[in-house]
Chain A
Amino acid sequence: MQGFRDVFLQGWRATLRHWRAVLPLYVVGLLLGLLQAWPLLGAAARGALSNPFVGTLAGGGIEPAIDLFLSDPGTISAAAGLWALGAFVFTLLFGVAYNFFSGGIVNAYLGGSARSFWSACRRTFWPFTGLGLLLVVLALLIIVVGAVLGEALGQRGGLIVALVLLQLANLLGEYARALAVARDRRNPFVLLGQACRFCARYLAGTLALALFGVLMQLALALLYRALAGAIGGSLLAVVWQQLIVLAWLWIKLLRLAWAAAYVRAADGLDVRLGTDVALPAV
């Protein structure tokens, strides 16, 4: 239990000490997000900025969105389709950015120097890209399994099973990244196999940390929902939303930091931080 607590605390310390690690991914997301705000440019070009309905839409909620759709279903559907396509392509780009930066981030969490950040990013980019593709295939298989199980368990049962399996796949990816940097391994298949073995060996600890991360994101979502109504459609909402985005990203990196701390503890690599981590009994 003492060891688990140390891993838990080391993850927090690492993300706080290397707080700047969140910035590259945040900036990439912000730039892609700015591009995804293109419908506003279209509206401005048509002189729609002097239309108070823009304010109604900015206030959020389903009703204004429905009104917008009903005003011209064909055009709005086409625009929404284009937006969704853009979101898909940009999400892929964001995934590429994650595959690039996550090596450097984990390296920093494992005690790597600031100078080695970019070399770690370059070193792990292709292995992590391969790992990402493997995980996408795994996710698609899980969705198929969920659909099949949905026939037997009902839609809700199938959905729950699929969500749990997706979280487990996500967890394996995080530990595979940590193992890649800690053990300098490059083969995505080997990394995924090692992640499976690692998580199976330390099942209770890895699951507990994953669950804690999920609960933090759930709490964040509830906090956003609770305060969104009070903040309304003012410019303050934009600031609030960006804080949520940053916090969401930071929780993801905290999960990576936990994975790195766990791997480091397991491999006896805890040198730089001077913490003697005993592995949790599971």
Chain B
Amino acid sequence: MQAAQQAPQIASYRMDVRLDSAAKTVAGTERITYRNPSQDRLPELWLRLYLRAFRDLNTLWMKESGGQNRGFAIQPDELGDMTVTKLALPDGTDLLPSAILTDTLMRVPLPLPLAPGQAIELDVAWSSKLPRVFARTGYGGRDDSFFMVGQWYPKMAVYDRGQWDSEPWHANSEFFNDFGSYDVSIDVPQDYVVAGAGVPAGERDAGAGVKTLRFTSENVTDFAFAASPDFKTRSAKAGGVDIALFYLPEHEASVDEYLKAAIGALQSFSAWYGAYPHPRLTVVDVPDNAQGAGGMEYPTLVTGGTAGAPGGSGAVALVISHEIGHQWWPMQTATNEGREPWLDEGLTEYSGIRYMIDSNTVLGTSAFGVSAALLDQLGYANAPHQAATLPAWKYSSNQYGIVYSKTAIGLWTLERVVGTERFRKAMAAYLAEYRFKHPTASDFRAAIEHSLGDQRWFFDDYMNGTGVIDYAALPIANAANGGTAGIVRRGAVRAPVEVRVTLASGAQQTKTWDGQAEQANFGFPAGDPVIRVQIDPERKLIAEIDVTNNGVSASPEVGPALTLGGRLMFWFQMIAQSVGLFG
């Protein structure tokens, strides 16, 4: 299942760090090897110090979020921070005095510009103070002994298309990273179990009740780990990939759901898009009181959580399949998650719900479950006139969900319009062309349209636009010289649509309309009147905002109306007889 392709080694890290479980800090040293990927000479480097976003309540991140993330609030007396104490070249040249620190970024002038293709090494020492679990990182769980360590080390920013990505970390935004390799040694208390990204590469006793665990990870853009003395482990295989689940004892009932979703999603996405390119995937279960650490993705490591839902309810599968989708978008196509978040969250949300639907996994029980797509349908219906392709910081926290839901519903619609096989081949071609690169929205569109042809309705009208898909059937007109079936486009999105017309003889004809004009009329010869018109009979346009106006009959449908009335009556009678007969 592993891809032979190698990522360009642009930013690689060798780290020796220590998790202090009492002080809630991670401190240590790292050697960064950075290779200039451009044709430009670089007089300076930029580093990202993400945890500085949580150092007080006045940072850009905190002002934008109001100290809230996914419904959880940061604790003002349990903030996070990152302090760099050393930044030097291997020859000892100290770069720290000339470094300029603003918000979550450190600008580092170099003694000599870095030539195209030239590599430089930086020796860094730092200490990170972890917050109580907030926005994907921190400590919590039983006696605060659980740690999710993400965005935790000084990290190279990305130089791409002639400029540094110097956008500070925004509240809605995630990350933009270069590929490289990691070799990380972590000191933890002896009784701790560590779930690290990459693959385990040894363990040794470091004395004084401490052990050192080493992890290596190749062709990746980041490294994270979780640690807890309570972790139990289970393993499984998905093709040639090892799956390691680290879960908490109180979530034993969800273990099967975790593993089934991980295996299923890995195999499905590998088949649809291209192979998962790593030997191992680590899945981390988070405590109920640390859910801010759940539902997050890092290369080769994802986090879930039960959120209080019982095992087998589909909640774990929904989260895990989504996070595993991220192992393709953006872990293999390192897009700028802040500037173009729909390229990772949107594509991933689509992948996750398609896995849920293809695997018949519903939310709830098998008898009383609803489709996982329902959440996205509701999310999209809540704000259908919002463009889905804006930078993350252009949305408020409440609006940001549209990036997920509108894109997912739209891609599913595109898939149904062009056919599942063609669509998945197009997605696979996009991945093949841009694996281990930094594609943009333009690259994605070019790749998709190269495979599927002109899809302006999707990219211009739907994704970038504020219009909706909505077609309506017009009243049937039967005259002596023939019948007419008409449909009108009420939304601004000009999606192609099928129209099925039923004639009095029972014959049916299906017409396809490109949706370019505002209205279309289909004529039929005299002698066989039109009795029914149904727009989009196969329900390909999942994103259509109103399907209740998609059909019309020549005469009132009395039988169905009476049946519907009977159903309303029945449900009232059952409610009344269950409640009104109490006692």
Contact = CB atoms under 8 A, between A and B. Distances in A.
Interface string A39-80: 110011000011111110110101100111011110000000
Contact of B556 (A50, A83, A91, A237): A50
Interface string B555-583: 11111111111111110111111111111
B569 A170 contact: no
B336 interface: no
B184 interface: no
Interface in B348-367: none
Interface stretch (B202-210, B234-242, B327-335, B544-552): B544-552
Contacts of B562: 235, 238
B381 A49 contact: no
Interface hub of B371, B377, B577 (most chain A Cβ within 10 A): B577
Nearest to A52: B551
Interface in A180-239: 233-235, 237-238
A139 interface: yes
Contact of B577 (A55, A92, A248): A248
Given A34-B569, A50-B555, A131 B563 contact: no
User: DSSP majority for the A interface?
Assistant: helix
B151 to A, nearest CB: 34
Interface in A4-39: 25, 29-30, 32-34, 36-37, 39
A50 B557 contact: yes
Contacts of B556: 49-50
A32 B552 contact: no
A150 to B, nearest CB: 11
A177 interface: yes
Given A49-B558, A135-B582, A176-B583, A54 B564 contact: yes
A147 interface: no
Contacts, number: 174
Given A40-B565, A156-B310, A237-B563, A67 B548 contact: yes
Interface string B363-386: 000000011001001100110000
Nearest to A86: B572
A95 interface: yes
A169 interface: yes
B178 to A, nearest CB: 42
A53 B564 contact: no
B534 interface: yes
User: DSSP majority for the B interface?
Assistant: helix
A230 B371 CA distance: 22
Contacts of B370: 62
A71 to B, nearest CB: 4
Nearest to B532: A52
Contacts of A58: 560-561, 563-564, 567
B553 interface: yes
Given A29-B577, A70-B545, A53 B569 contact: no
A257 to B, nearest CB: 14
Contacts of A139: 582
Contacts of A245: 570, 573-574, 577
Nearest to B546: A71
Contact of A52 (B553, B566, B582): B553
A153 to B, nearest CB: 13
A161 interface: no
B577 A249 contact: yes
A33 B572 contact: yes
A63 to B, nearest CB: 8
B504 interface: no
B554 interface: yes
Contact of A30 (B377, B555, B565, B573): B573
Given A50-B553, A58-B561, A98 B580 contact: yes
A92 B572 contact: no
Contact of A71 (B382, B545, B577): B545
Contact of B574 (A54, A60, A93, A248): A248
A25 B569 CA distance: 15
A58 B555 CA distance: 17
A119 to B, nearest CB: 22
Contact of A32 (B563, B567, B572): B572
Interface in A217-271: 233-235, 237-238, 241-242, 244-245, 248-249, 252
Given A29-B573, A40-B561, A57-B564, A70 B377 contact: yes
Contacts of B570: 33, 238, 241-242, 244-245
Contacts of B566: 37, 235, 237-238, 241-242
A37 B569 contact: yes
A57 B551 CA distance: 13
A173 interface: yes
B563 A233 contact: yes
Contacts of B578: 248
B106 to A, nearest CB: 47
Interface hub of B310, B548, B556 (most chain A Cβ within 10 A): B548
A173 to B, nearest CB: 2
Nearest to A135: B583
A172 interface: yes
B569 A94 contact: no
Given A55-B560, A67-B547, A131-B583, A91 B575 contact: yes
Given A57-B564, A70-B545, A51 B310 contact: no
Nearest to B369: A62
A237 B565 CA distance: 11
Contact of B548 (A51, A62, A177): A51
B580 A95 contact: yes
Interface in A71-109: 71-73, 83, 87, 90-95, 97-98
Given A30-B573, A40-B565, A136-B582, A71 B557 contact: no
A95 B583 CA distance: 10
27 contacts: A33-B570, A33-B576, A36-B568, A37-B569, A40-B561, A49-B557, A51-B548, A52-B560, A53-B550, A54-B557, A58-B567, A71-B546, A71-B547, A73-B381, A91-B579, A92-B580, A95-B581, A139-B582, A156-B310, A233-B564, A235-B562, A235-B566, A238-B570, A245-B570, A245-B573, A249-B577, A252-B577
Closest 7 CB pairs of A and B: A173-B583, A238-B566, A55-B560, A33-B569, A94-B580, A52-B551, A241-B570
Given A32-B572, A50-B556, A235-B566, 18 more contacts: A49-B557, A51-B553, A53-B548, A67-B548, A70-B381, A71-B547, A71-B548, A72-B546, A73-B382, A97-B580, A170-B582, A173-B583, A235-B563, A241-B570, A245-B570, A245-B573, A245-B574, A249-B581
